[in-house]
Amino acid sequence: MNDYVEKCLVSACLTGLSTRYDGKSKKNHSCMHCLQKTLWIPVCPEQLGGLPTPRPAASIIGGNGFDVLKGKAHVLDCNNNDVTSNFIQGAELVLSIAQSQKITTCYLKSRSPSCAINGNAGVTAALLIQQGIHVLEFD
């Protein structure tokens, strides 16, 4: 019997947790189906970065998540507050959870300044990709 169960990280909002900036969730049934035979851990980098829920919507100004990590772009919320350090802290905590749990695959939410992979990559996605972690995106 193979009792090895793959561990994964998943954007918390995709699992139905109400972690989004608007206080809502975005449960994705395809994602949950993919996670069926795994041991998954929900993470919300923006909450881990110390931001409240709900919170003002934020976006990356001047580039993408990779540029934020290089110090060449910033994350501003819709009230013009700079929340770059919150986003970087959240990304680093997600990475440290992945590394401590020997997790090599993360399932991330699209269209997010933290979690998006395609289009304008988010800060957490960029850090995970930089560290060689396999990332998959769901809407």
19 versus 64: smaller Cβ distance to ligand SF4: 19
Over the range 35-66, which residues count as b (16 or more CB within 10 Å of their CB) and which as e?
A: beeeebbbbbbbbbbebebebeebebeeebbb
13 versus 88: smaller Cβ distance to ligand SF4: 13
Binding of residue 65 to ligand SF4 (CB under 6 A):
no
In sequence order, what are the residues at sequence separation of 6 or more whose Cβ sits closer than 8 angstroms to the Cβ of residue 106?
A: 8, 9, 10, 94, 98, 128, 133, 134, 135, 136
Binding of residue 55 to ligand SF4 (CB under 6 A):
no
Binding of residue 67 to ligand SF4 (CB under 6 A):
no
Interacting residues with ligand SF4 between 115 and 134 (CB under 6 A):
115
Q: Report the alpha-carbon distance of residue 97 to residue 27 in Å, rounded.
A: 22
12 versus 60: smaller Cβ distance to ligand SF4: 12
**114: enclosing H helix or E strand:** none
Q: In this structure, are residues 82 and 59 in contact, taking their beta carbons and an 8 Å threshold?
A: no
Residue written as token pair 């993408």: 64
Query: Strand pairing partners for 42?
Result: 10
Site string for ligand SF4, 81-110 (x = CB under 6 A): ----------------------------x-
Binding of residue 44 to ligand SF4 (CB under 6 A):
yes
Residue 62 CB, shortest distance to ligand SF4, in Å, is 20
Residue 12 CB, shortest distance to ligand SF4, in Å, is 5
Binding site for ligand SF4 (CB under 6 A): 11-13, 19-20, 44-46, 109, 112, 114-115
